[in-house]
Chain A
Amino acid sequence: MSAPSLQRFSVLSRVLHIVVALGFFGLGLTGFTLYFGGTWWAQAIAWCLGGAPGLAWLHRACAIMTYAAVMIHLAWLAYYKLALKGRLTSKDGMLPRAQDVKDLVRHMGWMLGKGELPQFRRFTYWEKMDYWAVVIGINTMGLTGLVLWFPEWFSGFMPGYFINLALIIHLVEAVIAVAIKFVIHLVVAHLRPQVWPADQGIFHGRMSHERIKTEHPGHWQALQEGEGEGS
């Protein structure tokens, strides 16, 4: 990296991103192979992965891997807050703010040809949405998935037809998750004209001053005024 740049993602975040991406891919592949089990392509994939028991094993292995990655991230946040006395609630953090809604409205106005681009800070509203979709989604998928994994134990304290409800939530959320992560996230973070062909920042962790000025002008200004967090 010859151009001046700032660190945007820590080593831990970069590694966890890859783990979550791989785990999520495995979950989607095995889960939808089961759901579309009657089709020729799903039967070909199932045959390669060891049939229904192979799919079940892989799905659970990927689930544990993905869930562990999110838990490690949350443990790091707790350590950062409690032991390192860091701040999680600044304007450059990941918590949603009222400004994000204003940014969304303004951004859509810009798409329709009205007004200027919002002065995005370190993390934009769509990046926060991608982040919270994973943090919340992994928990609802994980909880409903556990009900489907251990139905006997869960029916010890809840009605058996809750297994049906868990299955529906698991299915619909899987459709949403795949539609968002494998299409919206890839397109918005990597494939849209501005960042085409790929945003490598999540892999090497850095963002050039040039890009910060054009894509996160609010953040750049805050850095110049000495109040933004940029490491």
Chain B
Amino acid sequence: MRFGTRHHLKRLNLALLLSLALFWAGPGWAEAPPAGEASWFIDMQRFAAGAHGKLSCAECHPAQEKANTSGPLAKRHPDAQDAKYLTASALRGYDYGQCKRCHRVAWERYNQGVHAAALKKGDLTKSGKQPAPVCANCHDPHYGKARRDRVELGRQQTVICGACHPAQAATYLEDYHGQAGDKLGWDQSAFCSDCHGAHDCRSLQKPQQAAKACQRCHPAATPRFAQYVVHPTTVDLGPEDAAKRQRVYLIWALGAVLSVFAACVVGFLYGHSFLWILRELQHKLRRHGK
């Protein structure tokens, strides 16, 4: 064994560098494209392990000349001869009418909901907002797993819904439902879709509508009970939400006043105790010195 030679050392360094490079790049290769950035290229091993793993490609991607459904999600299959084919968005270009064949209820609810309505209005990117999500923004069609537990799905909702609604996600996480459900993993707590619905995604502005959502877990809930503000934020509030805006301001005002009060009380007492200890120490040390 002539391990210490210059030759071996060079090899060792090379191996080290290579493994470092792999270590750095590895996670990037291993991870799925995040929801919303679907790729044209499919990892068939991971596809086979997913919920749709038993389906053949053609069951969801038939060769078609025109969309087989109507509505905002219906799209023509892109022309494979087109030079721009692979640079177009795989996620936005798919004809989600195909999903309807197996997921009829979800399809119908989506089309009755606010995201479909927003898509119908047109390209929201012009107004500076994200375009409304389509099926694959939330559901990874190739790698998504089936039969996941409530908490795992709920935590994913906080991330995915929160990508476009960050103020709502942040306030949810400060609320008891988010603390117990998302943070501490209690499956009986409420996650985004438990109140807003998974596919119609109602904003629950009307008290009657909100009370119905509350009643799923709180049977005695009334419209007045539903005045509870789960998301104390003024982001996205319109002129019709004046009542909620007032409540949010009241909540913020009380929080500010109480925080100032707490800072004064605690600050005074900490200073008082600190001075006191210094004085007693001085007293003791002086007596000790005599």
Residues of B within 8 A of A160 (CB): 224-229
| Number of B residues with CB within 8 Å of any CB on chain A | 46
Q: Give the Cβ gap from B276 to chain A, nearest Cβ, in Å.
A: 6
In the complex, are the beta carbons of B279 and A111 less than 8 A apart?
Answer: yes
Residues of B within 8 A of A165 (CB): 250-251, 254
> Taking the complex as formed, is B203 at the interface, i.e. its CB lies under 8 A from any CB of chain A?
no
Residues of A within 8 A of B269 (CB): 179-180, 184
Residues of B within 8 A of A192 (CB): 273, 276-277, 280
Dominant SS at the A interface? Answer: helix
In the complex, are the beta carbons of B179 and A35 less than 8 A apart?
Answer: yes
Pick from B180, B220, B255, B277: contact of A152, CB below 8 A.
Answer: B220
| Number of A residues with CB within 8 Å of any CB on chain B | 46
Residues of A within 8 A of B180 (CB): 34, 37, 52, 56
Stretch with Cβ within 8 A of B (4 or more), from A14-22, A76-84, A85-93, A169-177: A169-177
Pick from A153, A155, A193: contact of B284, CB below 8 A.
Answer: A193
In the complex, are the beta carbons of A151 and B228 less than 8 A apart?
Answer: yes
In the complex, are the beta carbons of A176 and B266 less than 8 A apart?
Answer: yes
> Taking the complex as formed, is B9 at the interface, i.e. its CB lies under 8 A from any CB of chain A?
no
Number of A-B residue pairs having CB atoms within 8 Å of each other in the complex? 127
In the complex, are the beta carbons of B255 and A51 less than 8 A apart?
Answer: no
Residues of A within 8 A of B183 (CB): 37-38, 42-43
CB nearest neighbor in B for A180? B269
| Cα separation A179 to B263 with both chains bound (whole Å) | 10
Pick from A34, A37, A108, A187: contact of B277, CB below 8 A.
Answer: A187
Residues of B within 8 A of A153 (CB): 220
Given contacts A169-B258, A193-B281, contact A159 B266 (CB under 8 A): no
| Cα separation A103 to B279 with both chains bound (whole Å) | 16
Residues of A within 8 A of B179 (CB): 34-35, 37, 52
The interface of chain A, by Cβ under 8 A from chain B, is 34-35, 37-38, 42-43, 46, 51-53, 55-56, 107-108, 110-113, 148, 151-153, 155-156, 159-161, 163-165, 167-169, 172-173, 175-176, 179-180, 183-184, 187-188, 192-194
A-B contact pairs, 25 of them (CB 8 A): A34-B180, A43-B183, A43-B184, A110-B279, A112-B279, A152-B225, A153-B220, A155-B221, A156-B224, A159-B227, A160-B225, A165-B251, A167-B176, A168-B251, A168-B254, A169-B254, A172-B255, A172-B258, A172-B262, A179-B262, A179-B269, A180-B266, A184-B269, A184-B273, A192-B276
Q: 10 tightest A-B contacts by CB?
A: A160-B227, A37-B183, A52-B186, A52-B180, A155-B225, A160-B228, A152-B220, A172-B258, A193-B280, A111-B275
Known: A152-B220, A193-B281. 17 other contacts (CB 8 A): A34-B179, A34-B180, A37-B180, A108-B275, A151-B225, A152-B225, A161-B228, A164-B229, A164-B247, A165-B251, A169-B254, A172-B261, A179-B266, A184-B269, A192-B273, A192-B276, A194-B280
The interface of chain B, by Cβ under 8 A from chain A, is 173, 176, 179-181, 183-186, 188-189, 218, 220-222, 224-229, 232, 247, 250-251, 254-255, 258-259, 261-262, 265-266, 269-270, 272-273, 275-281, 283-284
